[in-house]
Structure 1
């Protein structure tokens, strides 16, 4: 048994290279990591002492409690002597500051529900017009970068930020946040230093817009690779800059994206509050397309809450707003919402309802997602995977196992090309539905393939 390791770790370094342990580390499955350590003779007390947790916390994790907060994962890795790369962990300005705080003050760790409430409070204050600069720094806000800034900037400098954001956003749509997230954070570290430069007032206002949009992209790509706390930090800053720029459409966009984060983590009530806040800003912006985006996501949230009447109402309003929208007049951050996405969002709402009533809603979800999946190209690869997995799931729910298997295999094939933690997460319903029909050999093969994909 390897009980005492080197460098303060309770095990020797070779333990981290065992196959089962490496698999658990790659999945960030802390429960399995701790179980593997127990098999090596490491006690709960030793784990607790190394990670700064209480023995009761370690016991809960061993029983299956998930650990998702980046700061906690980083503290566990450092305390146990796990190479950070094995868990896909890396510092950026925000996480470095927060990990340092966690190391010095273990009691500062906050429950996820507390963080959600704090962000909602912050979002409400910013959206409704509270002062945003010079106030007390919240725990989720990223630290300022240290790159030197030019003495004076003009509109060309701001346009360069917009161009960089657009190029990086295109990479995110095509290949996933894993291909560009670090580049976005690095670019943002430089761009924020322009706040220290002198500039004419119109230039400074556009700089706020550019920084808000880049922070929003940093939040989105962080979310896409599974970094929830950095995502929340960037979205918080994006809100502040958007409000300072008096850009209601961008405020609405940021709130929509943070709401999507909470939908992904199955917190529809929290998501709905952010979508409703975003709706206020969207109405003030005068952009019908922005309003349509918020309505569509409210429909999805209501679907997860099993409220079909509200879903129908919001879908109807989404269609009305989309019909009168002028895409050529819409800002860049909402132009992604085309007719394909309209069908995809309606399909998502019915997919959520089909969890409760598959006979009524699964076939509708299939019909809507077929419309969008037939039109997606390589420029929207990740969204295409989402649509295919949703379509396959509802084929199986509707009893069409053969088509579900066919479409599910296409989803996996496309998913291999996208670097996104969300792809694996969004395949979970397909795995669950396929798992109900393992007596069918083709469905069983799909189930095993999806399970392998998600584990890797």
Structure 2
């Protein structure tokens, strides 16, 4: 980055390719930290990067770098929106995502637009608003088609399946998930913001959809979630904790209290290492199911441990 000074004071910052590359690398580091430890661990750092990016945006940006810099700015706002969501601030999250959409549109980056719409939909899904989620996912799928990104298409279709399942629309949910699987087969590469979605995540999403559909699907949900939980490494602690919570919920729903207690304990221990409110919220169904068996020595003090964890404020 080069600045020049004249008689009248500082001239605009001259943006160079290396400056944009540095910002892209910084956002990549923050994204990895978010996956590993949750939004609460990197929120302040993301704000620092966002501030620096906004300063660069008002510098002297060559035409050849403008779309790339706008993509960086959109990506930073997108990540900041996700961290706001992760620590329980849905309204600021939506504001950040709207900012991200503006920058992504200015960059002409439909792949990133699709990702932002996916994340907006996930905010609605977390708060059990399936119709609002479906509206965002539909916009995201349109952007994914424009970008010709098979991975983005798979992400949006899988999440649409979840929203349909949440609304009790079994046929629509299974049909849309089949579309997600078909799109995933065609994946050859990815942009950084969608690279997280691999075979393990596809299995986790299938297990999630089947969990929402419940009934005869619980056995298959357990199989898919077990595979997904085994596939997540230390770099995806939040995803693994959420998957284990849902797996324990399925075991409890089937009356397999031994497995529900075992998996639930692992899930709770892991959730305690993640700076996110989402595991707290996702534990509510498991807490209710275990409360029906309070006093059973098989589950021991797990219901009380979950209640204490969910009542604690996020650090």
What interval of TM-score do these two structures reach, taking the shorter chain for normalisation?
over 0.9
Please state how far the C-alpha of 1:238 moved relative to its aligned partner.
0.5
2:151 matched residue in structure 1: 289
1:423 maps onto 2:279 in alignment: yes
- For residues 370 and 396 of structure 1, the distance between their equivalents in structure 2, rounded to whole angstroms, comes to 14
Structure having greater relative contact order (Cα 8 Å, sep ≥ 6): 2
Q: How does 1:94-173 map to 2 (within 5 A)?
A: 151-173=13-35
1:312 matched residue in structure 2: 174
1:298 maps onto 2:160 in alignment: yes
1:361 maps onto 2:231 in alignment: no
Q: How does 1:233-252 map to 2 (within 5 A)?
A: 233-252=95-114
2:247 matched residue in structure 1: 391
- For residues 150 and 187 of structure 1, the distance between their equivalents in structure 2, rounded to whole angstroms, comes to 19
2:190 matched residue in structure 1: 330
Residue 257 (structure 1) aligned to one of 88, 100, 119: 119
4+ residue runs of structure 1 moved beyond 6 angstroms?
Answer: none
- For residues 83 and 107 of structure 2, the distance between their equivalents in structure 1, rounded to whole angstroms, comes to 23
**Is the contact between residue 395 and residue 404 of structure 1 (CA under 8 Å) also seen in structure 2?**
yes
Residue 412 (structure 1) aligned to one of 268, 272, 289: 268
**Is the contact between residue 149 and residue 197 of structure 1 (CA under 8 Å) also seen in structure 2?**
no
- For residues 181 and 112 of structure 2, the distance between their equivalents in structure 1, rounded to whole angstroms, comes to 21
1:181 maps onto 2:43 in alignment: yes
- For residues 274 and 193 of structure 2, the distance between their equivalents in structure 1, rounded to whole angstroms, comes to 21
- For residues 236 and 360 of structure 1, the distance between their equivalents in structure 2, rounded to whole angstroms, comes to 40
1:432 matched residue in structure 2: 288
Please state how far the C-alpha of 1:317 moved relative to its aligned partner.
0.7
1:347 maps onto 2:207 in alignment: yes
Please state how far the C-alpha of 1:433 moved relative to its aligned partner.
1.4
2:311 matched residue in structure 1: 455
Q: 1:149 to 1:344 in 2, by over 3 A?
A: farther
Please state how far the C-alpha of 1:439 moved relative to its aligned partner.
4.7
Q: 1:150 to 1:447 in 2, by over 3 A?
A: farther
**Is the contact between residue 219 and residue 232 of structure 1 (CA under 8 Å) also seen in structure 2?**
yes
TM-score by length of 2: 0.93
TM-score by length of 1: 0.65
- For residues 288 and 213 of structure 2, the distance between their equivalents in structure 1, rounded to whole angstroms, comes to 16
Q: How does 1:50-89 map to 2 (within 5 A)?
A: none
Aligned length: 303
CA RMSD in angstroms, aligned pairs only: 1.3
1:443 matched residue in structure 2: 299
Please state how far the C-alpha of 1:361 moved relative to its aligned partner.
2.2
**Is the contact between residue 149 and residue 196 of structure 1 (CA under 8 Å) also seen in structure 2?**
no
Q: 1:274 to 1:149 in 2, by over 3 A?
A: farther
Please state how far the C-alpha of 1:186 moved relative to its aligned partner.
2.1
- For residues 68 and 112 of structure 2, the distance between their equivalents in structure 1, rounded to whole angstroms, comes to 12
1:72 matched residue in structure 2: none
Structure 1 segments unaligned to the other structure (5+ residues): 1-147
